[in-house]
A = this chain, B = another copy of it.
Amino acid sequence: MNVIIYPERADWKEILKRPTLDTGSLRETVCGILGRVRNEGDKAVMEYEEMFDKVKLHSLAVTEDEFREAEKAVSIELKAAIMLAYKNIHTFHSSQKFEGKKVSTLPGVTCWQKAVAIEKVGLYIPGGTAPLFSTVLMLATPARIAGCREIVLCTPPDKSGKISPAILYAAQVAGVSKVFKAGGVQAIGAMAYGTGSIPKVYKIFGPGNQYVTAAKQQVSLRDVAIDMPAGPSEVAVLADETANPAFVASDLLSQAEHGVDSQVLLVTTSRGLLEKTQAEVERQLALLPRKQIAMKSLESSRLVLVESLEEGIAMVNEYAPEHLIIETRDYAAVAEKIVNAGSVFLGSYSPESAGDYASGTNHTLPTNGYAKAYSGVSLDSFVRKITFQEVTPEGIATIGPAIEVLAANEYLDAHKNAVSLRLNRKI
């Protein structure tokens, strides 16, 4: 861990630097795979599954039998935990439903927005060591609440052609329409273009490695929308002397265990807390199964001592963390001053794990400083707000003459004429 004591403002940029993500070098590989999937569909997907996931598939869709088997294989304890998380996610995202109100901007001129679900969405769940069933809940639950007609999920199978039972169970609970055995770039291509078995969708969600990220970027240039750009996961903890060093250390470590490129930042006004947290990190780290990963990512972590809470707030706003934990006296007042963050955790009893799994907020959040411009996934991510306007003869009489002037000054006479014809009609 890198300890930085009372840095100058001029050094913040260097201190808050993130690793450079260059997916440009993958472009050729990714475009090659996408091109074949676009042209050859399922055949190409199956070939790439054999090549990358070492599995020979004869069909991609998960069958009813496989769903039933999965349901049996998940323990009662895990089922109960999944249901609790699902219910909280459902409650919070249901509260985000948008009711457009009709607004009369002038007499006879009425405008409104209506939220309409994106008809077809695709969810990508990575494979690898951990079965990310929590991400299934985070993406499929709001998609279902929004009313998406088709919710497709792709995830790579293991070498025996199976998908983690917990993923299939979570998919059923949250209301996924269809699950397919496909991973990596080929899965992104399949959902972007459609294949014989995998439907084309209009928006793709979900995490992935650098190849998946590059593929999502590539298809988003023309064929499909994506949730947001991706980068390594990250946490910033803003703490004063009232914070519990063991808790702070555990929060830093839960980020550090994600991956070797995880970003971990502590900003504190208390030298005592900083030192005790360091000691606690060492102590807790020794007990972790994913110690090697956490140790690696801690190498580039930063513990920063600042002169005041105001300075600390400014620093985390400049960093724009995916997750921000505020463990300070009067944390509610501090939270009011946060302008750049994905999700904020308040007080000593709100660890990042709570939001990762079960508080109800979404864990698909903007990384890499993208929180300055992007929101995390919410119900909004699964709808479009279509605008409507209804102008009456009275309304066009009121706004028509202004439109004629505006159109004429932009040299758009046909625009003007569409109004003039209506104004001149004997009503």
Q: Check A413 against B289 for contact (C-beta < 8 Å).
A: yes
CA of A356 to CA of B103, assembled, Å: 17
| Residue interface mask A392-427, B partner, CB < 8 A = 1 | 110110010111011101111111111101100100
Q: Which of A118, A354, A396, A401 has the most CB of B within 10 A?
A: A354
CA of A88 to CA of B349, assembled, Å: 46
Q: Check A354 against B250 for contact (C-beta < 8 Å).
A: no
Asked if A95 is at the interface (CB within 8 A of a chain B CB), the reply is yes
CA of A91 to CA of B110, assembled, Å: 11
Asked if A301 is at the interface (CB within 8 A of a chain B CB), the reply is no
Asked if A177 is at the interface (CB within 8 A of a chain B CB), the reply is no
Asked if A362 is at the interface (CB within 8 A of a chain B CB), the reply is yes
- Chain B residues, CB < 8 A from A3: none
Asked if A300 is at the interface (CB within 8 A of a chain B CB), the reply is no
Chain B, residue nearest A400 (CB): B354
Shortest Cβ distance from A82 into chain B, in angstroms? 7
Shortest Cβ distance from A96 into chain B, in angstroms? 7
Within 8 A of B (CB), among A345-365: 345-362
Interface size grouping (class) on chain A: 35 or more
CA of A256 to CA of B417, assembled, Å: 13
Q: Check A388 against B351 for contact (C-beta < 8 Å).
A: no
Q: Check B411 against A284 for contact (C-beta < 8 Å).
A: no
Asked if A58 is at the interface (CB within 8 A of a chain B CB), the reply is no
Q: Check B422 against A133 for contact (C-beta < 8 Å).
A: no
Q: Check B92 against A103 for contact (C-beta < 8 Å).
A: yes
Q: Which of A81, A129, A345 has the most CB of B within 10 A?
A: A81
CA of A361 to CA of B409, assembled, Å: 20
- Chain B residues, CB < 8 A from A96: 113
Main secondary structure of the interface of A (DSSP, over half): mixed
Q: Check B412 against A119 for contact (C-beta < 8 Å).
A: no
| Residue interface mask A97-112, B partner, CB < 8 A = 1 | 0000101011001010
CA of A105 to CA of B275, assembled, Å: 36
Contacts A346-B389, A391-B350, A403-B358 given; does A410 touch B132 at CB 8 Å: yes
Asked if A77 is at the interface (CB within 8 A of a chain B CB), the reply is yes
CA of A217 to CA of B82, assembled, Å: 39
- Chain B residues, CB < 8 A from A425: 244
Contacts A96-B113, A111-B360, A415-B254 given; does A81 touch B349 at CB 8 Å: no
Within 8 A of B (CB), among A84-143: 84-85, 87-88, 91-92, 95-96, 101, 103, 105-106, 109, 111, 113, 116-119, 129-134
- Chain B residues, CB < 8 A from A253: 414, 417-418
Asked if A162 is at the interface (CB within 8 A of a chain B CB), the reply is no
Chain B, residue nearest A294 (CB): B414
Contacts A80-B402, A407-B357 given; does A288 touch B224 at CB 8 Å: no
Q: Check B421 against A247 for contact (C-beta < 8 Å).
A: yes
Within 8 A of B (CB), among A279-300: 284, 287-290, 294
Contacts A88-B106, A352-B418 given; does A374 touch B384 at CB 8 Å: yes
Q: Check B257 against A133 for contact (C-beta < 8 Å).
A: no
| A residues lining the B interface (CB < 8 Å) | 21, 77-78, 80-82, 84-85, 87-88, 91-92, 95-96, 101, 103, 105-106, 109, 111, 113, 116-119, 129-134, 166, 202-203, 217, 221-222, 224-225, 229, 244, 246-247, 250-251, 253-254, 256-258, 284, 287-290, 294, 335, 338-362, 370-376, 378, 380, 383-393, 395-396, 399, 401-403, 405-407, 409-419, 421-422, 425
Known pairs A254-B418, A257-B413, A353-B407. 9 more at Cβ < 8 A?
Answer: A88-B105, A105-B359, A116-B340, A247-B421, A258-B412, A288-B414, A357-B415, A373-B384, A380-B380
